[in-house]
Amino acid sequence: MSEKNINLKLHIWRQESPSAKGSFEEFKVSVSPHASILEMLDDLNNRLEKEGKIPISFESDCREGICGTCGLVVNGHPHGPLPKTATCQLHMRNFKDGETLYIEPFRAKAFPVMKDLIVDRVGFEKIQQAGGYVSFNTGSAPDANAIPIAKEMADLALDAAECIGCGACVAACKNASAMLFVGAKVSQFALLPQGQPERYERVQFMVAAMDEAGFGSCTNTYACEAECPKGISVKNIARMNRDYIVAKVAKRTA
């Protein structure tokens, strides 16, 4: 026997273009508790298309909580109210029958709304392009044990590398800061021997790109860590700040 569908009232942000004025549009749906929120939007779009109406624009790719493109704000929470869960992994069983959901795009000056629930996250791409690399010698692959790495450092680097670049940290921050994202991308290289040659140049380039893209500053409210679907630690921000100060001091005294 199949479980009873959940009836929900949805208020979904609709915006025709970046320059258009947007507003919430109300919908009523009956959906399986086993459906994800994206599957619910798929079903709603199928209904709208049958009615000759314009479907809701939203982004998704892997739908496995890996790529981060699915990011939406659900009832004020980036990716929804469930901790450490991407939007695509948020299932309707986490909501009550008759509940009202407000679904909107990430809100930040550096993430302009393109259409409906889609935002332009090119700012993150520019930050990564500014310094997200390591230099290496070409040729045959080195032996796996050629560079010893302490387990603690390897674990911390892998924890930082779990950042999927979704932008939830920006949406959660009252200043629309990207410090958690940048801190994670800086740390994943700074903690490993392979990342040392460009370590202090990298942090300066990435911070400069972050500022140029229009992201705000960090005031340590920890909202970013609380809403991050991968639980990236704010300790990465502290590490980035230390590297940035060292880089600037070394530059002045050189």
Residue among 106, 229, 237 at smallest CA distance from 171: 106
Per-residue confidence (pLDDT) for residue 1, from 0 to 100: 46
Is the residue at 176 inside a domain? yes
Tens digits of per-residue pLDDT, 42-66? 999 999 999 999 999 999 999 999 9
pTM metric for this prediction? 0.93
Is the residue at 141 inside a domain? no
Residues in contact with 236: Cβ distance below 8 Å, sequence separation at least 6, in sequence order: 160, 180, 183, 184, 186, 187
> Do residues 56 and 171 share a domain?
no
Indicate if the alpha-carbon torsion angle 89, 95, 101, 102 is positive or negative: negative
Per-residue confidence (pLDDT) for residue 140, from 0 to 100: 79
- Rounded Cα–Cα distance for residues 94 and 113 (Å): 27
> Do residues 99 and 132 share a domain?
no
> Do residues 132 and 238 share a domain?
yes
> Do residues 107 and 39 share a domain?
yes
For 97, the domain range is 6-114
> Do residues 127 and 245 share a domain?
yes
Q: What is the pLDDT along the chain (254 residues), one digit of tens a residue?
A: 468 999 999 999 999 999 999 999 999 999 999 999 999 999 999 999 999 999 999 999 999 999 999 999 999 999 999 999 999 999 999 999 999 999 999 999 999 999 999 999 999 999 999 987 787 777 777 776 778 899 999 999 999 999 999 999 999 999 999 999 999 999 999 999 989 999 999 999 999 999 999 999 999 999 999 999 999 999 999 999 999 999 999 876 54
Per-residue confidence (pLDDT) for residue 147, from 0 to 100: 81
Q: What is the CATH number of the domain that holds 74?
A: 3.10.20.30
Is the residue at 94 inside a domain? yes
> Do residues 131 and 245 share a domain?
yes
> What are the φ and ψ backbone dihedral angles of 158, each rounded to 5 degrees?
-70, -35
Please count the structural domains in the chain. 2
Per-residue confidence (pLDDT) for residue 252, from 0 to 100: 60
Tens digits of per-residue pLDDT, 166-184? 999 999 999 999 999 999 9
Is the residue at 242 inside a domain? yes
> Do residues 126 and 247 share a domain?
yes
Residues in contact with 47: Cβ distance below 8 Å, sequence separation at least 6, in sequence order: none
